[in-house]
Amino acid sequence: MALRLFKVDGHPRRIAVCDVDTFVVGGAFFLDFSRPLEVRRWLGVGPVIGAFVPVVHEGQASGGYIVEVDRANPYFGDIRELWRLRYPTPAPAPAMRSEGSKIAADFASQFPSQT
């Protein structure tokens, strides 16, 4: 399934991201505008073919995961525009911190094609 962007109740200013039909309640991942977007180019110098998109778990103070998005993804242009408008913006402090094992499990269940 292609990467999707959506809103999550309780987080009105954040943009959630997921690779499956539903996200994990209490374990959503959001676009992390505190870190730079890294574009991928054909042979390192040619046209842009994708991007590595930083994400942060709702229970993390700072993110450590990235997801790969191909240019063919319908949200690819939106993601690049969002980074142009919002980077750098610090990630908000989490309401509740999550353990590393929960974050890893949430990532694996929401981004199976990335693991």
pLDDT by residue, tens only, the chain of 115 residues: 588 999 988 888 899 999 998 888 889 999 999 999 999 999 988 999 999 999 999 999 998 999 999 999 999 999 999 999 999 999 889 988 999 999 999 999 999 988 7
pTM of structure = 0.93
* pLDDT for residue 84: 97
Contacts (Cβ under 8 Å, ≥6 apart) of 50 = 39, 40, 68, 69, 70, 71, 76
Residue 87, CB-side half-sphere exposure with 13 Å CA sphere: 16
List the chain domain ranges. 4-114
